[in-house]
Amino acid sequence: MPRPALRRSAVAAALLATATLAACTGSDTPEAGPSPAVAQSAAASTATSVVAAAEKALGDTTATGGTARQAAFSGAALRSADAWAKTLGAKSAAQRADAALSTAAVKVLGVSRAGEEPRQILAQASLKKSSAPVLVLLQAAKGSDRFTVAAQTPVLAGATVDALDAATSGSASVGDGSGLALTPDAAVQAFAESVRYPDPKSASGLAADPAAQQLRAAAAAQAKSISGQGTFTSEHTPKGVVGGLRLAGGKGAVVFADLQRVDSIALRNQTKLTPGKDVTLLSGLKQITTEAALTSNETVAMVIPESGQARVVAFSDQLVGATGR
């Protein structure tokens, strides 16, 4: 229903009052912008010190190594770090050199915003030998000032991550993934189904990536190698989204997640297979006669846009356990 007309003098008085009120409130109470959970300088020094401590702890096979890793890593990243240290004796000098991390030029890519938990710092380090970039997600539990490595994984060849908001204002956490083309859980589940063996399931919401291609190829090759003796299967199970931050300019989010892969061998007839040295170091298993299951932690980083396909930008895996008979 239209409002009744007001006398011109009343309208003018109302407009004048409104303008005066706007002028007063606009100057006295400016709208505050977002702030980072950690100041820019503190984020830089924290990232450098935590990455350095984590890299040192990875190679510490002494009695104090486990304590050092507990101080530097958390979650699945801690289990992977312990498994890496335990299997160092099975790795060649070249393998160790390829995996060594440079701690000289750690760069902060983004910081979460104040009030969001857990507090997060996304940093980039690099491999010493190849200079390839490595993404490192640092987190501090609620009520704690101690940051640990919650996820660490090398960037895939040719992959890029768009810029995050400036560390002076902080980047919003990924949260439940609202506004993204896929929720983080859905994207990780799609990846898991796309790399299972046999019968991988194609996912229209995911772009093709070299990590998935290599996983499928490796599983097929393993199955072929024992086809005369038995069967091979590979199952990837999502274990949860670790964290992530929104990209600047509404370009989506970078998300980190953990998966667990179980590679299973079932032999048709009793035989004798010798497992790799790393399997023996982790499990004590020295011979496989009928069946075996090898468990690996997988770390994946994805960029999920607001529209279009999600893409894997970083991936790594680490054998953490084995059973068999």
pLDDT for residue 22: 36
Answer for the pair 90, 65: CB distance below 8 angstroms, yes or no: no
Long-range contacts of residues 54-58, Cβ cutoff 8 Å, at least 24 apart? 54/81, 54/136, 54/149, 54/152, 55/100, 55/101, 55/103, 57/81, 57/85, 58/84, 58/85
pLDDT for residue 13: 37
Token readout for 14 is 């109302």
Return the residue matching tokens 């983080």: 184
Give per-residue pLDDT as tens, 13-37. Answer: 333 333 333 333 444 545 567 999 9
Answer for the pair 57, 73: CB distance below 8 angstroms, yes or no: yes
Domain spans in the chain, listed from the N-terminal domain onward: 40-324
Token readout for 303 is 């960029």
User: 10 Å Cβ neighbour count for 190?
Assistant: 19
Residues 89 and 61: their CA atoms lie apart, in Å, by 10
pLDDT for residue 276: 92
pLDDT for residue 131: 95
Angle between helices 75-86 and 65-72 (to 10 degrees): 150
Residues 204 and 87: their CA atoms lie apart, in Å, by 38
Residues of the chain below pLDDT 50: 1-27, 29
Give per-residue pLDDT as tens, 228-276. Answer: 999 999 999 999 999 999 999 999 999 999 999 999 999 998 888 899 9
Q: Before 184, cis peptide (omega within 30)?
A: no
Question: Rounded to 5 degrees, what are φ and ψ at 136?
Answer: -130, 120
Q: What pTM was computed for the model?
A: 0.88
Residues 187 and 90: their CA atoms lie apart, in Å, by 34
Shortest CA distance to 55 belongs to which of 110, 93, 96?
Answer: 96
Answer for the pair 193, 261: CB distance below 8 angstroms, yes or no: no
E strand segments, the chain: 101-111, 119-127, 133-140, 147-154, 230-246, 253-267, 291-304, 311-324
| Amino acid code (one letter) for 169 | S
pLDDT for residue 28: 53
